[in-house]
């Protein structure tokens, strides 16, 4: 139930949803004052959430800081990679890698540099219409084809969200009678919630963030003033994380 609710909530918190609703009210309402207010509100929301500078500042405040290579120890037992890296093309029976696939690529680099001994992939299907999609298994097969030793890769393909990532990871590698040293690998904007979920389950991995969205501040005119669809896409991600963090806290997952 929580899984279904989270998907519905994700749709409702998107700024484009608010804009469409306000424009619809403005278009079909017979009350002139209400039409005007809704139109003005939709324009304000559009200008705010399409501003690249504003979303960059919010991302910078929310994302967990990254670390340089020399700051990463060389003795981690596991690099834990959280799923949500691919989509599935049913027509051609092919997986498509998303930007968040940087998590897997950075894990591969950590492995090749000798920073981590094994890669653990946590992720099942986060899609309501494809409940049998086993991301962890698919990514393990991809890594093996890429040259990683099969015995150096473990996975679980049950979890559907960040809370379940932590629960299933604990079952798979933390309940074997030892306490491995682990590096949690996920996107910078997702790390805050991920760490909180793992801490709630009694696991305290170090953080290694990937695919950062915030960078050096830009003061160019287009970045400061021109509307950007990319800014709205980033707002969808950050709002999902913020609302998800609150919802997880309310559900006792943090």
Average pLDDT over residues 51-75: 95
Strands 206-210 and 116-122: unpaired
At 116 the three-state DSSP class reads strand
Beta bridge partners of 39: none
Residue 55 is predicted with a pLDDT of 97
Q: Are the beta carbons of 203 and 120 closer than 8 angstroms?
A: no
pTM score of the predicted model: 0.90
d(CA 197, CA 94): 31
Spell out the domain ranges in the chain: 2-63+227-251, 69-210
7 vs 16: which has the higher pLDDT:
16
Average pLDDT over residues 121-130: 78
Number of H helices and E strands in the chain, helices first, is: 10, 7
Q: For residue 8, what are the contacts with CB-CB under 8 A and spacing of at least 6?
A: none
d(CA 175, CA 169): 9
Q: Enter the DSSP assignment of 118.
A: E
Beta bridge partners of 186: 209
Return the H-helix or E-strand segment holding 195: helix 188-200
Is residue 196 classed exposed, middle or buried when 0-12, 13-18 and 19+ CB atoms within 10 A define those classes? middle
Residue 127 is predicted with a pLDDT of 65
Give the lowest-confidence range in 55-69, 108-122, 128-142. Answer: 128-142
pLDDT tens-digit profile of 36-61?
999 999 999 999 999 999 999 999 99
Q: What share of the chain is helix, strand, coil (3-state, %, to 5)?
A: 55, 15, 30
Residue 224 is predicted with a pLDDT of 95
Is residue 35 classed exposed, middle or buried when 0-12, 13-18 and 19+ CB atoms within 10 A define those classes? middle
**CATH class of the domain whose range is 69-210:** alpha beta
d(CA 126, CA 161): 7
First to last CA, the chain: 18
pLDDT tens-digit profile of 138-188?
999 999 999 999 999 999 999 999 999 999 999 999 887 678 999 999 999
d(CA 14, CA 82): 24
What's 93-112 look like in SS3?
CEEEECHHHHHHHHHHHHHH
pLDDT tens-digit profile of 180-236?
999 999 999 999 999 999 999 999 999 999 999 988 899 999 999 999 999 999 999
């Amino acid at each position: 139930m929580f899984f279904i609710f989270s998907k519905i909530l994700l749709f409702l918190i998107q700024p484009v949803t608010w804009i469409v609703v306000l424009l619809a009210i403005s278009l079909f309402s017979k009350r002139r004052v209400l039409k005007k207010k809704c139109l003005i509100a939709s324009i304000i929301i559009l200008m705010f959430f399409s501003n690249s500078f504003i979303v960059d500042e919010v991302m910078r405040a929310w994302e967990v800081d990254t670390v340089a290579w020399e700051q990463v120890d060389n003795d981690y037992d596991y690099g834990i990679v959280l799923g949500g890296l691919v989509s599935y093309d049913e027509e051609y029976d092919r997986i498509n890698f998303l930007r968040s696939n940087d998590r897997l690529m950075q894990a591969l680099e950590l492995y090749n540099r000798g920073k981590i001994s094994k890669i653990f992939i946590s992720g099942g299907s986060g899609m309501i219409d494809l409940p049998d999609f086993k991301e962890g298994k698919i990514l393990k097969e991809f890594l093996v084809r890429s040259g990683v030793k099969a015995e150096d890769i473990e996975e679980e393909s049950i979890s559907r969200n960040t809370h379940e990532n932590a629960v299933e990871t604990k079952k798979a590698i933390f309940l074997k009678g030892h306490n491995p040293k682990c590096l949690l690998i996920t996107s910078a904007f997702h790390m805050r919630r991920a760490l909180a979920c793992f801490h709630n389950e009694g696991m305290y991995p170090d953080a290694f963030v990937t695919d950062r969205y915030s960078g050096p501040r830009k003061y160019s005119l287009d970045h400061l003033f021109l509307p950007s669809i990319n800014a709205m896409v980033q707002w969808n991600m950050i709002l999902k994380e913020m609302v998800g963090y609150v919802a997880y806290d309310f559900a006792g997952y943090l």
